[in-house]
Chain A
Amino acid sequence: MLLTIDLDSDTPIYQQIRDRVVEAVATGTLRAGDPLPSTRQLGVDLGINFHTVSKAYDLLRQEGVIRINRKSGAVVRRDHTSGPPDPGFADAWQSRLLTLLAEATTHGLTRDDVLGRSQDVLDEFEGKRP
């Protein structure tokens, strides 16, 4: 998995790491059971403090995307083939979607635009899967 972070972005670095990992799982670049580098190693490779990577991994663990073991380190916990989402995920996701859809509506995107673009993104995820 290639992880590129934009140092001039308004999005915090830990959030960018979290986003890139979730996107990699969605596109099939990372699959359930795949290992992630240690926080120290990824910190070295990106030239950032390892606490920043720890923060991203903690967030991913709380969201159920990865699990962290003392022996095996960080491992992808689930992907699209792992069955239905965890209980409560859909509701939490919908509450975040609310803001995104509100932005789209405020800026004049029509229902068809929103659905079409969502379809495009989902197609892109599926198109990238091996």
Chain B
Amino acid sequence: MITQVGWLVLVTAGFLLLPATARPTLPFGIRVPRERAGELRPIRVAYRVVVVVLGATATAGALAGATGLLPVLVVACLLAHWAAAGFVARAKRSWPQVRQGMTADTSLRTDPVRLPWPYLAPAPAIVAGTAVLGLVSDPVQRTESTSWSAASPVTHQLVVLALALSAVVTIPRARPELDAARPESSARAYRAYLAGTVRIVALLATAVIAALAVKALLSWRLVTPGSVWTALTIALPAAAFAVALIWLVRAGDAGHRLDRDDTEDTGVVQRDDDRHWHLGGLVYANRTDPALLVHQRVGSRWTLNLGHPASWLTLVAFLVLALLAN
């Protein structure tokens, strides 16, 4: 029961914080002009009240002995978010049209954000070290296991390394999330966000790979099992995740908090592509957009443009890889 209550409180807190991390121009995943963002305060307040009521009701239910409330709370909070997005869209329809534009920072292509080698280099070194240790110590004989299961920490490390490398190579190639109303400040912020995010990805991968190395030492019986080693397998990724969380909160969605120059205004607003975003700014499908990878409207994540044929090929490739891995 205590675990369920803990999760319910966490989910409620997460949904309460969600509007605070969103960009001022994208409340609840709907694009609005920056100067209009303040007019949407009543919708934000109403959303928070609803989430608090939902969270309190679910927690009270859990304390009374009800089970399975977590998915119900998540769905209810998502519906509250979706309803808030509907109210923002309705308010937006009453506003006069503003000139729309798009902005690009060519320096992100001609002088791109470099790969974070100092952050990336330890990861392959740890993988190589673990693999060499595995070859030298002969864990198959030592633990009387199959060679495949004995090698599983290293294969997991390789998978994490491959995912991290593909992320740090791919993320800077996605379309930058700039604001045509504030090209200079948004470009500065996005570059800083990109550089920080690829470092965080590298740090996370290194921490997880290091934790897998400790796990390998334990499973190959090279160290005496103990609480210190077990704690290390949890503490390493947990510390990296904490750093990532601090970074994401500080930077805000797409790094909008990294540059607070509010003086810039070109007189045009970023192109309104609301109709191509679905599920509250989580899914993007636009056949006329040549971009394959775009930044999500809600959260600090990137997503595939499902209107691009290559995105389906990518998804099929991932599916095949996942099936093969199983």
Contact = CB atoms under 8 A, between A and B. Distances in A.
B268 A6 contact: yes
Interface string A55-83: 00000000000000000000000000000
Given A2-B183, A4-B268, A47 B290 contact: yes
A37 B102 contact: no
A45 to B, nearest CB: 4
B290 A1 contact: no
A49 B289 CA distance: 8
Contacts of B110: 34-37
B176 interface: yes
A8 B100 contact: yes
A93 B99 CA distance: 31
Given A36-B106, A37-B106, A37-B109, A4 B101 contact: yes
Interface string A16-57: 000000000000000000111110111111111110000000
B274 interface: no
A7 B271 CA distance: 8
Interface in B99-121: 99-110
Given A5-B102, A44-B175, A47-B291, 17 more contacts: A3-B105, A6-B99, A6-B100, A6-B268, A7-B99, A7-B102, A35-B110, A36-B110, A42-B104, A43-B290, A45-B105, A45-B175, A45-B176, A45-B291, A47-B175, A47-B289, A49-B290
A42 B106 contact: yes
Q: Interface residues of A: mostly helix, strand, loop or mixed?
A: mixed
A36 B110 CA distance: 7
B266 interface: yes
Contacts of A9: 99
Given A45-B176, A47-B291, A4 B266 contact: yes
Interface in B111-169: none
Given A4-B183, A35-B110, A37-B110, A48 B103 contact: no
Interface residues of A, number: 25
B107 to A, nearest CB: 7
Given A49-B290, A50-B290, A7 B100 contact: yes
Contacts of B203: none
Interface residues of B, number: 26
B180 interface: yes
A110 B113 CA distance: 50
7 contacts: A2-B183, A3-B106, A6-B268, A7-B99, A37-B104, A42-B109, A44-B291
Interface of A: 1-9, 34-38, 40-50
Contacts of B211: none
| 10 A-B pairs with the lowest CB-CB distances in the bound complex, closest first | A37-B109, A45-B104, A4-B103, A2-B183, A8-B99, A1-B106, A44-B291, A35-B110, A3-B104, A46-B102
A47 to B, nearest CB: 5
Nearest to B266: A4
A36 B102 CA distance: 17
A40 B271 CA distance: 19
B268 A2 contact: no
B101 A2 contact: no
B102 A48 contact: yes
B259 interface: no
Contacts of B103: 2-5, 46
Contacts of A7: 99-102, 271
B145 to A, nearest CB: 48
A9 B175 CA distance: 23
- Of B103, B107, B110, B175, most buried by chain A (CB within 10 Å of CB) is B110
B240 interface: no
Contacts of A48: 102, 290
A2 B290 contact: no
- Of B100, B266, B268, B290, most buried by chain A (CB within 10 Å of CB) is B290
B183 to A, nearest CB: 4
B184 A40 contact: no
